[in-house]
Homo-oligomer: A and B are copies of this chain.
């Protein structure tokens, strides 16, 4: 199965588009290597590879906002995945917004177009 995914093109990583299965909202973009893909399939919970921490990243491990995977799609040339998920807590972004794409371009700049669901300071304690 994972043999059909082209991990080589991106030096072992593929970009993963994460979409809310119910609303269709695009929540975030993350990355997977083959092992995180296999873990995702095996557990049913979205598991990425953190490029900054260079470590496996079970989404929601810290915040509790896990992503239950409902479907996995691969694109035509096999180098991008689309995950359809149920987002626990209704917020995917570490800044507390439903999606990471909470800013929309206007002629004046970037407008915040979503409402915070949680205060990051209370979720990510030092």
- What residues make up the interface of A, taking CB atoms closer than 8 Å to B? 1, 4, 15, 17, 19, 23-26, 28-29, 41, 71-77, 80, 82, 93-95, 97, 100-105, 109-110, 113
Instruction: Give the shortest distance, in Å, between A58 (CB) and chain B (any CB).
Output: 19
- On whether the beta carbons of B80 and A94 are closer than 8 Å, the reply is no
With A and B bound together, what is the CA distance between A104 and B103 in angstroms? 30
- Out of B77, B93, B103, name the residue touching A74 (CB < 8 Å): B103
- Out of B74, B80, B93, B110, name the residue touching A4 (CB < 8 Å): B110
With A and B bound together, what is the CA distance between A64 and B91 in angstroms? 37
Task: Determine the chain B residues whose CB is within 8 A of the CB of A113 once the complex forms.
Answer: 73
- On whether the beta carbons of B15 and A26 are closer than 8 Å, the reply is no
